Amino acid sequence: MPIYTCTIAESTFSAETKRALAGEIARIHSSITHVPSAYVNVAFHELAADGLYTDGVPASPVLVAGWVREGHPADDTTRLATEVSTAVAKICEIDVERVLVVIQPSPARFAVEGGRVLPEPGQEQAWLAES
């Protein structure tokens, strides 16, 4: 259901690091939203050295944008962003100052997976049972 997109400068993370981070994001998302980790997607966009800027100069922030279904309790969404931020810093062994995590929700009824409209938060069980 969710899509987490990590934008980084190329060669910032090894394949092992990316895999470990993807696994940890899946675990965090699942634990907070009650969606099985099997539904958590993580994509890494690795940009050329002249493709990423902060304050107009080349930089290497780690930018994570997550799409989730709208309607989770706001505190849970804040916790999601916080825990993902902590995971990035720890697993990737970078200063948390370089990490920006942003959650961008939109309505579940505006999303389709496996041919079916996604369930509203809290109504996952019936949807999953039909899978």
Q: Which residues bind a second copy (CB under 8 A)?
A: 1, 3, 5, 7, 15, 18-19, 22-27, 37-48, 50-59, 61, 63, 65, 67, 74, 77-78, 81-82, 84-86, 89, 96-97, 99-107, 109-115, 117
Residue with smaller CB distance to a second copy, 27 or 34? 27
Torsional class of 98: left (φ above 0), alpha (ψ -120 to 50), beta (otherwise): alpha
**CB 122 → a second copy: shortest distance, Å?**
18
d(CA 118, CA 112): 6
CA-nearest of 7, 40, 44 to 25 is 40
- Residues 1 and 39: their CA atoms lie apart, in Å, by 5
CB of 25 to a second copy, least distance (A): 8
Minimum distance, C-beta of residue 48 to a second copy, in the bound complex (Å): 7
Which structure tokens are listed for 63?
């930018």
Give the integer Cα–Cα distance in Å for 120 and 117. 9
Say if CB 112 and CB 118 are below 8 A apart.
yes
- Least distance (Å) from a second copy to the CB of residue 30? 9
